Amino acid sequence: MSRKEKEQRLIVQGTVIETLRGTFFKVECNNQSILCTLSGKIQKNNIRILVGDRVQVELSPYDLGKGRIISRLDRQQLR
């Protein structure tokens, strides 16, 4: 990923509302439902994502309906 592409991505926080097949999840951000998949870093480290977890989602500027979960937020990070 080039530097220009990294600058264009949007990062938002949301709540997991539904788990789907494989590594897909529905996340609610700003009263909008987004279809998300797990990033490779989360898959590699075997981090569990459950319904109700707060997560950080990286959105593409071209399609705001799809995203990638880049981290799960701890309770300390929510404050």
Q: What is the mean pLDDT of residues 24-49?
A: 93
CATH number at residue 20: 2.40.50.140
Please check the confidence at residue 79 and state whether its pLDDT lies above 60: no
Q: Kindly state the average pLDDT of the residues 36-63.
A: 92
Contact 63, 35 (CB under 8 A): no
Exposed, middle or buried by CB within 10 Å (0-12, 13-18, 19+), for 67? buried
Split into its structural domains, the chain has a count of 1
Going by the DSSP 8-state scheme, the letter that residue 21 receives in this structure is S
Kindly report, residue by residue over 9-30, the tens digit of the pLDDT.
899 999 999 999 989 999 999 8
Name the residue range of residue 68's domain.
Answer: 3-78
Average pLDDT over residues 38-63: 92
What's the whole-model pTM score? 0.82
